[in-house]
């Protein structure tokens, strides 16, 4: 080999074992093309500005990178699967476009700090996209709440009828869950908003680079303070997938209730044909497939979380190739969560609520038992004594196969002399209106909660 002959490093990788199928990450990391080019352009600008490379060479590199971006977005870029990753593909094409000057882009930069910067940029966008989809779902929940302030349904504990609540109050409970998801995503955005570029392979770089300039160009709020940690840190990825996993937990709980409510046994809602499917042999069936799939896909996001934790748990500092395994779980958990948020939103927007059936369900059994115990307590009895009376009344109802709504004034008075004629004023509507405290199910409180929820939705997302 001629000593002075310049070699294209991308070309030299073709025959290397590192380019074997086992090590190739191109199939998933090419998704980072936009961020990789953005980072490279900022780096090339900085190299030229700081006179680390000639300014003219910097401009040629930037021009070439912009051409590559257009080619990718026009789907004219030829990805070479023999090159192991996105970096090598872009660099190889840059050599074809501008020649040996392409090699100067790698000055003061490693693939280690480059990929760490790429994924942080991608995740910042991903956090904002997830926040937007959570807010879309919240808007639907608020819309349903506004339409159902006076829709009465049984509230449940242990999946047993417990106390009457407004359906609006029930929908707003999910609003709170997704609001916590949004707050967590904002925190993850902050965790991602640290620029590792300039850390080199692990120890920094021997050039007077301008990291402040790079951070400003790339939109990072902070700059990493330890080069070893910067190239090996994936905590922000764990946090991101964890956020997705918790969000999927909330979606799965919502889906479970949709599935239960749509059964003939409950008949609280009717799902649209768009979000159900028929049976291959039972023509009468409308299966809640979309809700079931959301419930099922929750497991795959949990799997991504366990996967990244398992990858990280035994790694010595600093960078190890194991970290290549961080991306597929990130992308899959993001894609899954986004699609499930969209599906849940569609299910809610298109379902029909059977308000009459919900109200009928509150008239059965002993759902007003606690309200009646409170009635006795307000008459002067200790609550525990009221509880005992209500136990006796419940036993009386069960023995005579009656609901509380079937009990006469005379029967009430035979159980306790503390009962007066006004006991018949206690019904589901009375129960709901009596919970007029902050966070309660009373209409006044729900209207306040809806107003507050709208303000939260309209609050500007972190960008």
Residues classed as catalytic:
158, 279
Question: CA 447 → CA 168, 169, 366, distances in Å?
Answer: 9, 10, 28
Query: E strand or H helix at 157, and its extent?
Result: strand 152-157
Q: What does the block give as tokens for 457?
A: 């939705």
Judged on CB neighbours under 10 Å (0-12, 13-18, 19+), 453 is buried
| Integer Rg of the chain from CA | 31
Q: Which residue in 156, 148, 224, 167 sits closest to 191, CA to CA?
A: 224
- Decide: 196 and 120 in contact? Cβ < 8 Å: yes
- Cα separation, 375 vs 386, in Å, equals 9
Helix axes 326-350, 111-147, angle to 10 degrees: 10
Question: CA 242 → CA 35, 209, 226, 228, 324, distances in Å?
Answer: 23, 35, 25, 24, 19
What is the distance of C-alpha 133 from the center of its chain? 8
- Decide: 262 and 288 in contact? Cβ < 8 Å: yes
- Decide: 352 and 361 in contact? Cβ < 8 Å: no
Question: CA 348 → CA 59, 275, 277, 281, 342, distances in Å?
Answer: 52, 10, 16, 28, 10
- Decide: 462 and 186 in contact? Cβ < 8 Å: yes
- Decide: 446 and 145 in contact? Cβ < 8 Å: yes
- Cα separation, 133 vs 340, in Å, equals 10
Residues sharing a CB contact under 8 Å with residue 433, sequence separation 6 or more, in sequence order: 442, 443
Helix axes 86-98, 33-49, angle to 10 degrees: 50
Q: Strand pairing of 222-223 and 194-195?
A: parallel
SS3 letters for 373-395?
A: HHHHHHCCCCHHHHHHHHHHHHH
């Amino acid at each position: 080999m001629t000593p002075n002959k310049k070699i294209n490093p991308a070309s030299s990788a073709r025959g290397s074992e590192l380019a074997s199928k086992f090590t190739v990450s191109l199939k998933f990391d090419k998704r980072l093309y936009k961020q990789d080019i953005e980072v490279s352009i900022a780096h090339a600008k900085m190299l030229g500005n700081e006179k680390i490379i000639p300014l003219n060479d910097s401009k040629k590199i930037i021009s070439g990178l912009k051409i590559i971006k257009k080619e990718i977005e026009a789907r004219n870029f030829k990805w070479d699967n023999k090159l192991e990753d996105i970096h090598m593909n872009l660099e190889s094409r840059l050599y074809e476009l501008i020649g040996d000057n392409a090699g100067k882009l790698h000055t003061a930069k490693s693939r280690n700090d480059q990929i760490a910067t790429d994924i942080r940029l991608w995740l910042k966008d991903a956090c904002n996209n997830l926040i937007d989809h959570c807010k879309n779902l919240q808007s639907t929940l608020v819309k349903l709440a506004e339409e159902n302030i006076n829709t009465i349904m049984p509230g449940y504990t242990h999946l047993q009828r417990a106390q009457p609540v407004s359906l609006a109050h029930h929908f707003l409970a999910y609003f709170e869950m997704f609001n916590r998801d949004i707050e967590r995503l904002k925190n993850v955005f902050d965790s991602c908003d640290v620029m590792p570029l300039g850390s080199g392979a692990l120890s920094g770089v021997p050039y007077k680079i301008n990291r402040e300039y790079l951070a400003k160009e790339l939109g990072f709020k902070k700059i990493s303070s330890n080069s070893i940690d910067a190239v090996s840190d994936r905590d922000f990825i764990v946090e991101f997938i964890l956020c997705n996993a918790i969000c999927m937990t909330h979606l799965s709980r919502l889906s479970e209730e949709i599935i239960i409510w749509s059964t003939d046994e409950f008949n609280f809602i009717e799902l649209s044909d768009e979000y159900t499917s028929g049976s291959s042999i039972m023509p009468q069936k409308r299966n809640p497939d979309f809700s079931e799939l959301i419930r099922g896909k929750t497991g795959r996001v949990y799997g991504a979380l366990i996967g990244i934790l398992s990858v990280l748990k035994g790694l010595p500092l600093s960078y190890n190739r194991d970290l290549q395994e961080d991306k597929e779980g990130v992308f899959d958990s993001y894609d899954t969560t986004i699609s499930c948020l969209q599906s849940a939103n569609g299910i809610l927007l298109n379902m029909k609520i059977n308000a009459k059936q919900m109200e009928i369900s509150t008239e059965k059994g002993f759902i007003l038992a606690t309200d009646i115990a409170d009635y006795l307590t307000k008459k002067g009895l200790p609550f525990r004594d009221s509880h005992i009376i209500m136990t006796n009344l419940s036993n009386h109802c069960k023995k005579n196969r009656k609901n509380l709504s079937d009990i006469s004034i005379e029967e009430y008075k035979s159980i306790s002399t503390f009962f007066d004629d006004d006991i018949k004023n206690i019904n589901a509507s009375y129960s709901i209106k009596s919970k007029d405290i902050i966070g309660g199910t009373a209409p006044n409180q729900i209207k306040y909660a809806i107003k507050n929820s709208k303000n939260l939705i309209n609050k500007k997302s972190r960008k």
